Amino acid sequence: MAACTRRDFLRAGAGAAALVAGTGLRAGGAEPPGPAGPRAVASGNGLRATDKAVEVLRAGGGPLDAVIAGVNIVEDDPEDMSVGYGGLPNEDGVVELDASVMDGPTHGAGAVASLRNIKNPSRVARLVMERTSHVLLVGPGALKFALAHGFEEEDLLTDKSRAAWLRWKETLSDRDNWVPAKAESLPEQLRSVLSTHGTINCLAIDASGRLAGVTTTSGLAWKLAGRVGDSPIIGAGLYVDNEIGAAGSTGLGEANLRTCASFRIVDAMGRGATPEQACLQVLEAVAAKAKRWPGLCDAEGRPSFGLEFYALNKKGEFGGAGFFEGGRYAVHDGSENKLREAAYLYKRRPAR
Ligand code: ASP
């Protein structure tokens, strides 16, 4: 496996080294004047979530109310096939959801993993935080807990997500007895197997500087039953420190689980990095480790997977970054709600 060279890093516009030193381009980050919030930041699929979060904050809701109300829109939406209802299932065709929440003022955290049949795992994660002395419940225990709190079970597999799973299963091997439908007879979006991952992370700050965050996902599509990604792991898919800021992640959970990215981003902000610089610093650190991960690095030693970070600090400054050019993240800065360009380390996606 070839080693990553500094040249690769420096190829990205002003270059990651300059960014980390605080002199380079700011893709989408901002240093707003005035009070820190209300503001909300989310992954690229979270524009409706940031809008809702700021609406809730303006109506007097707390930051945790705000981010959960925001992501509930996406969890409930069958068209988003990476989160909640309609999320792509595991290899057995069963949707298993992961989510975490963190509340800045109390430094409370709650999470669920491998939760089946409940479309709003973020709300169950909040109850784990508020109504147990635990932080993380998984599988049947998480379901039992949700049912005890009155959540209703429902089949989370939509016709579309089932068809995508069937397509994946039928095209997996020519050494089994599954025969794929002819490509021409398939709806356009199923001709090739759909994108296999996605998640929503949403972070918010209110006018008095109180922070909260949530990350919710159906995880990696076609995963082994019981696989848990980074999203429900505090410090990996989400971390909030009310004195410093909040960070969250989307992308390949296994890469994040090995590097504890969200905690490190918040820690970097605590040592003076802007949100965007902190995201880029930790991306660099993950890229350096990825050189040792067979199958997760291209011939030039660059990561061959996606990982994106989002961060919001105590002052209301925000940033988002991924390995590759072209990423977007959602920001409501208190006056407008829009997608912004994410900062990045690499100019082009590696050919696969
Ligand atoms: N981070 C999620 C997971 O690994 C998936 C994603 O964001 O694409 O479960």
Determine the atom of ligand 1 nearest the C-alpha atom of 227: 9
Which residue's C-alpha comes closest to atom 5 of ligand 1?
A: 219
Cα separations in angstroms, 315 against 34, 215, 243:
9, 22, 10
Band of residue 321 on the pLDDT scale cut at 50, 70, 90? very high
Which residue's C-alpha comes closest to atom 9 of ligand 1?
A: 219
Q: What is the pTM of this model?
A: 0.89
Query: How far apart are the CA of 221 and the centre of ligand 1, in A?
Result: 9
Numbers of helices and strands, H then E, in the chain: 10, 13
- Pair of tokens at residue 39: 């503001």
Phi, psi (deg, nearest 5) at residue 129: -65, -45
Q: How many CB atoms lie within 10 A of CB 120?
A: 21
In whole angstroms, what is the distance from residue 253 CA to residue 57 CA?
A: 30
State if residue 87 touches ligand 1 by the CB under 6 angstroms criterion.
no
pLDDT at 221 > cutoff 80: yes
**Neighbouring-strand partners of residue 338:** 331
Q: How many CB atoms lie within 10 A of CB 63?
A: 31
- Pair of tokens at residue 61: 């809701």
Task: Output the pLDDT for position 1.
Answer: 33
Task: Output the pLDDT for position 198.
Answer: 78
Task: Output the pLDDT for position 191.
Answer: 61
Computed on alpha carbons and rounded to an integer, the radius of gyration of the chain in Å comes to 20
Mutational test site, ligand 1, from 81, 201, 220, 254, max ligand atoms within 8 Å of CB: 220
Query: How far apart are the CA of 262 and the centre of ligand 1, in A?
Result: 14
Query: Which sign, positive or negative, has the C-alpha torsion 32, 34, 37, 38?
Result: negative
Average pLDDT over residues 68-81: 93
State if residue 230 touches ligand 1 by the CB under 6 angstroms criterion.
yes
State if residue 197 touches ligand 1 by the CB under 6 angstroms criterion.
yes
Cα separations in angstroms, 62 against 174, 205, 323:
53, 9, 33
Task: Output the pLDDT for position 183.
Answer: 73
> Which are the contacts of 119, defined by CB distance < 8 A and separation ≥ 6?
75, 76, 84, 85, 97, 154, 156
The β-bridge relationship of strands 328-332 and 39-43 is antiparallel
Distance of CA 72 to the CA centre of its chain: 14
Query: How far apart are the CA of 251 and the centre of ligand 1, in A?
Result: 5
The β-bridge relationship of strands 307-313 and 245-251 is antiparallel
Average pLDDT over residues 283-303: 91
Determine the atom of ligand 1 nearest the C-alpha atom of 43: 7
For the beta sheet containing 318-324, the strands, ordered from the edge strand earlier in sequence to the opposite edge, are 238-241, 245-251, 307-313, 318-324, 343-346
State if residue 121 touches ligand 1 by the CB under 6 angstroms criterion.
no
State if residue 220 touches ligand 1 by the CB under 6 angstroms criterion.
yes
State if residue 231 touches ligand 1 by the CB under 6 angstroms criterion.
yes
Tell me the average pLDDT of the chain.
88
- pLDDT per residue as tens digits for the range 147-192: 999 999 999 999 999 999 999 999 899 899 999 888 777 776 666 6
State if residue 199 touches ligand 1 by the CB under 6 angstroms criterion.
yes
Q: How many CA atoms lie within 13 A of 77 on its CB side?
A: 17
Query: How far apart are the CA of 184 and the centre of ligand 1, in A?
Result: 30
Hey, which residues are catalytic here?
Answer: 199
Task: Output the pLDDT for position 86.
Answer: 87
Determine the atom of ligand 1 nearest the C-alpha atom of 229: 9
Determine the atom of ligand 1 nearest the C-alpha atom of 218: 9
- Pair of tokens at residue 86: 């309609």
